[in-house]
Chains A and B, each alone.
Chain A
Amino acid sequence: MSGLIEAREIALSFGETPALRGASARIEAGEIVAVTGPSGSGKSTLLHCLAGILAPDSGEVWFGDTRVDTLREAARSALRRDRFGFVFQFGQLVPELTAEENVALPLLLGGTRREAALRHARVLFDRLDLGGLERRRSGELSGGQAQRVALARGLVGEPAVIFADEPTGALDSLAGEQVMDLLVEAARERGTTVVLVTHEPRVAAFAGREIILRDGKVTSPVPDRVPS
């Protein structure tokens, strides 16, 4: 029986440098999983493969009954748009758009009418304590605010999975904690699966389970635990 997302013996090299060497992982629906490991261990690469951003050189990636790694580019884009949400460390907001337009962007790209998409986005502004920032551009937001806007954008399409790559990496501890609280709370509320890449134990502690990578391989999954 497959999990919601599964990587089977995936390997990926960048030129001569191997990033993943036969990594396998299975994530069930509704799980909050932290992918941890030292720098260069392949954490982000694993997340990118699971999210269909990168296609592995070998191995398989599954999302439910869909094999992701063999999908065409347009289908993978549609999958990201319709079923996944993303919160990255930085750089994921479009600077030309206002905060509410950034949040509505996945819906706009999916063909939702502008008014409906913005209305949908504004609901999340209240939910994530972003009220009053709707019309601001990304350059006018603090790091924590920008990250919450990114989180809102990740949630707006009601995705099945949120992929978060070092979501608090550019934030101070207080703002980081606030973002993680909101992420976990929203995920639990909606039953959303969260795959979280981090090297910070404090952030990893928000997850129910850890997947530890070393030299491109999953070493040992940590037993389930209750988040603090």
Chain B
Amino acid sequence: MIRLALRLTLAGGREAIGRLAIITVAVALGVGMLLAALAGINGVNAKNSRYAWLNSSLVTTSATGTADPTLWRISADYFDGRLIGRVDVAGTGPTSPVPPGMTRLPGPGEYYASPALAELLRTRPANQLADRYPGHLSGTVPAESLPAPNSLIIVVGYPADQLRDQPDVQPVRQLETVSPSNCNQCVVGLRSDAIDLTLGVVALAVLFPVLIFIGTASRLAAARREQRFAAMRLVGAVPRQVSTIATVDAMLSAVAGVALGFALFAVFRPLLARIPFTGEPFFPADLSLNVVGIVLVALGIPLGAAVAARLALRRVQITPLGVSRRVTPRPPRAYRLIPLLAGLAELANVRMTGPPPGSTRQLIVYLLGMTLVMVGLVVAGPWLTMVGARLLARRTRRPATLIAGRRLADNPKAGFRAVSGLVVALFVTSVAVGIITSIVDHRGNHGDEVSHPNAISTVFLQGNEAPDAAPKAGTDPVPPGLSDVPGVTAVVVVRQNPAWTPPGPVPQPEPAQVPHPEPVGLVSCAALAAHPEFGRCEPGAQVAGVDSVDLTYFTDRVAFTERALPSGTWPASSVPLAQLEQLPTVSIVVDTDGSTGAIEAARTKLELAYPGQRRNLPMGDVDKAADITSALVGWRQLANVAILTSLPIAGCGLAVSIVGGLSERRRPFSLLRLTGVPLATLRRVVLLESLVPLLTVAVLASVAGFVAAHLFLEAQMRYAVRPPGVGYYVLVLGGLVASVGIIWSTLPLLDRVSGPEVARNG
């Protein structure tokens, strides 16, 4: 029987082979995306494990391990907006731990750099980068030690005696191997749970149109296959045999699709690895599949297809005389809106009560909500289509609109099925654009904070800690030559306010509740007058109090005064100017012309003047923005993948659905033509049959997308969704125009399949 089924599946001529090919491609796309999602999650976890060793000095070290610890200090650094991980090391004996993949530690006067950093060291002027590191480049940080192929990591060797007494140096007896995901004290690494969550949502969003495409393709030539099954039943095939044939038919394309899907994954894996959805690309090998995933996909998809084929057969009764539906389809009812409303209610509930603790539970609640909304759109679609079609049929006087309206009202499910993929894709697009636009808007603009994009500052005070390793009081803290660096436009020193009280460990009242907290810093009004980009003093003042150590100020609040001041004006301080230079330094703020050369040369000067101070990292808005930008670039690319994948797949689904529909209805169309209905009218009928459900449900899908995005953002990040830019409207409008184009491109087929000979021959 299986052999006969294979024969029937493969020997059906061009139409059968075409159908088989379309289903195979649809399944392959689905499998490829599923594998990409699984590999993406594995890749994130693998990448996070690569970060583990960088946390070796940050976790509480146990007494176990080697007797010859490596003296170890990790710090962050920046170059041109890119983060550099710097590890200063000194071995204390022959068994001192070495980073993964290295055979030995760099000796005093040597450093090893990652390939990407080595390239920068080679190509950029030494005063911008290489001068920061003592000694010379003598080796490469191997791939085993790199989280990403383009990671900037440097391991700098020191004599043990020199490093031992410096701040933040820890003896490391064994390397940390626990992934930052499972390590509470780890600082360096990814929030892999959040990325897994995002990947899960994106995978679902992309898979949904694929599943609809598979469903549409599977229904191709359904009438012909049912006719074949009926003929077989007539000559004695029992239902089980028909079921076997249908199952083999479904499994054959599923197996071929799975094989092609694995091949697609293998081919596109290097490209997938380049998508920096964690902020950095991946090593292709990290995007791996585990055995469980492979077995689940390789066996699960064909088995799922077999089960789906059997379920589809249970919905119809194939008799020797043809196919009769078990249940006469009733018109859809308004209760079809319930899943959609339930999905939105679920997301609203998460918004009201807050997301549950733990990424897994968050993943479940968001996936549940988004899935319900997507399923809800597909379930509600036929009802909305019917309402729209009835309205259209009632109001129109044009025959094409009347025919299309009546046909849609009679069978809204079939009408909506053709556009259901596009509707889901539109929802996906709206969610993705809504979330990404809002995150970019919120994070890209620091609220009401005025930023100095060209400035960097070395801060000798952070958080609740007292000034640490600051320049000595009474000395000029500005490194020699800093002001002379080409491109440096201003150097301003912020001194510590003697009246300022460091916050203690006991939680302090919020600034708003303290009417007159003393500002942390003081700055000379003469300096501010020379560099008004950092603000200005009140008239007549000599010293101003500043509450932000990098001279970033806020226009809508002045934390330490109740007096209303013009925007950008620091309040006067009672500390005399003469005393200012005797006070400890809080920060050195350097403004530049914005060129990479100026910023990096100034940073190098500051780092050399105050070396080894992890807390003193000279950085500015350009660096903070770069961190955010790299993450946003990753998210944006992920959203682009979701949009650019789901829309074309939905378009394919639409085309396949229309072609299939035309083929199945060749006889009625042919009879209509014989009775004198012009071809142009039939074309309008076909066009309207797709456009009415599309336009009716598209508005709802778009609104549902933005509501879902808003609820997600509010619940997870306390952001409100921002209105989309012009690009979104262009995308949606372009999508609709493309849909019309797809429908239009299928219309020549109408001419071919509705000729008079079709009416005669059936």
Contact = CB atoms under 8 A, between A and B. Distances in A.
Interface of A: 48, 53-54, 73-74, 77-82, 84, 86, 88, 90-97, 101, 105-106, 108-110, 114, 137, 139, 153
A80 B224 CA distance: 22
A94 B233 CA distance: 11
A97 B234 CA distance: 15
Interface string B4-19: 1001110111001000
A73 B239 contact: yes
B227 interface: yes
Contacts of A110: 236
Contacts of B232: 94, 105, 109
A91 B319 CA distance: 13
A74 B237 CA distance: 9
B238 interface: yes
B496 to A, nearest CB: 88
Contacts of A94: 8, 228, 231-232
B517 interface: no
A88 B227 CA distance: 14
Contact of A74 (B1, B231, B239): B239
Given A94-B8, A108-B4, A53 B321 contact: yes
B11 A77 contact: no
Contacts of B233: 77
Contacts of A82: 236
Central interface residue in B3, B230, B240, B320, by most chain A CB within 10 Å: B320
B7 A80 contact: no
Given A48-B321, A81-B235, A137-B13, A95 B228 contact: yes
Given A97-B11, A108-B4, A109-B236, 13 more contacts: A80-B320, A86-B234, A92-B231, A92-B234, A94-B232, A96-B7, A96-B8, A105-B232, A106-B235, A106-B236, A109-B4, A110-B236, A114-B3
A91 B234 CA distance: 10
B241 interface: yes
A106 B4 CA distance: 12
A53 B237 CA distance: 12
B7 A97 contact: yes
Contact of A95 (B7, B12, B235, B319): B12
B236 A77 contact: yes
27 contacts: A48-B321, A53-B234, A73-B238, A73-B239, A78-B236, A78-B238, A80-B320, A81-B235, A81-B236, A86-B235, A90-B762, A91-B231, A92-B235, A93-B231, A94-B232, A95-B13, A96-B12, A96-B228, A97-B8, A105-B232, A106-B235, A106-B236, A108-B4, A109-B4, A109-B237, A109-B241, A114-B3
Contacts of A153: 235
Central interface residue in B1, B7, B16, B762, by most chain A CB within 10 Å: B7
B13 A96 contact: yes
Contacts of B231: 91-94
B238 to A, nearest CB: 4
A53 B319 contact: yes
A94 B237 CA distance: 12
Closest 7 A/B residue pairs (Cβ): A81-B236, A96-B12, A77-B238, A80-B236, A106-B235, A53-B320, A74-B238
Interface of B (DSSP majority class):
helix
A89 to B, nearest CB: 11
A84 B231 CA distance: 14
A95 B14 CA distance: 12
A193 B4 CA distance: 30
Contact of B235 (A73, A109, A114): A109
B70 to A, nearest CB: 72
B328 to A, nearest CB: 10
Contacts of A88: 234
Contacts of B7: 96-97, 101
B226 to A, nearest CB: 11
A95 B7 CA distance: 12
Nearest to B10: A96
B490 to A, nearest CB: 82
A14 to B, nearest CB: 10
Nearest to B16: A96
B638 to A, nearest CB: 44
Nearest to B238: A77
Nearest to B236: A81
A108 B233 CA distance: 13
Contacts of A137: 13
Contacts of B240: 74
Central interface residue in B13, B237, B240, by most chain A CB within 10 Å: B237
A91 B227 contact: yes
A44 B181 CA distance: 73
A108 B232 CA distance: 11
A142 B321 CA distance: 22
Nearest to A79: B236
Central interface residue in A79, A105, A137, by most chain B CB within 10 Å: A105
A125 B230 CA distance: 24
Contacts of B320: 53, 80, 86
A54 B319 CA distance: 9
A1 B388 CA distance: 64
Nearest to B225: A96
A139 B12 CA distance: 11
A73 B243 CA distance: 14
A3 B503 CA distance: 108
Nearest to B224: A95
A23 to B, nearest CB: 18
B233 to A, nearest CB: 7
Contacts of B4: 108-109
Interface in B275-327: 319-321
Central interface residue in A90, A91, A92, A94, by most chain B CB within 10 Å: A94
B3 A96 contact: no
Contacts of A91: 227, 230-231
A49 to B, nearest CB: 12
Nearest to B321: A53
Contacts of B228: 94-96
B411 to A, nearest CB: 19
Contacts of A95: 12-13, 224, 228
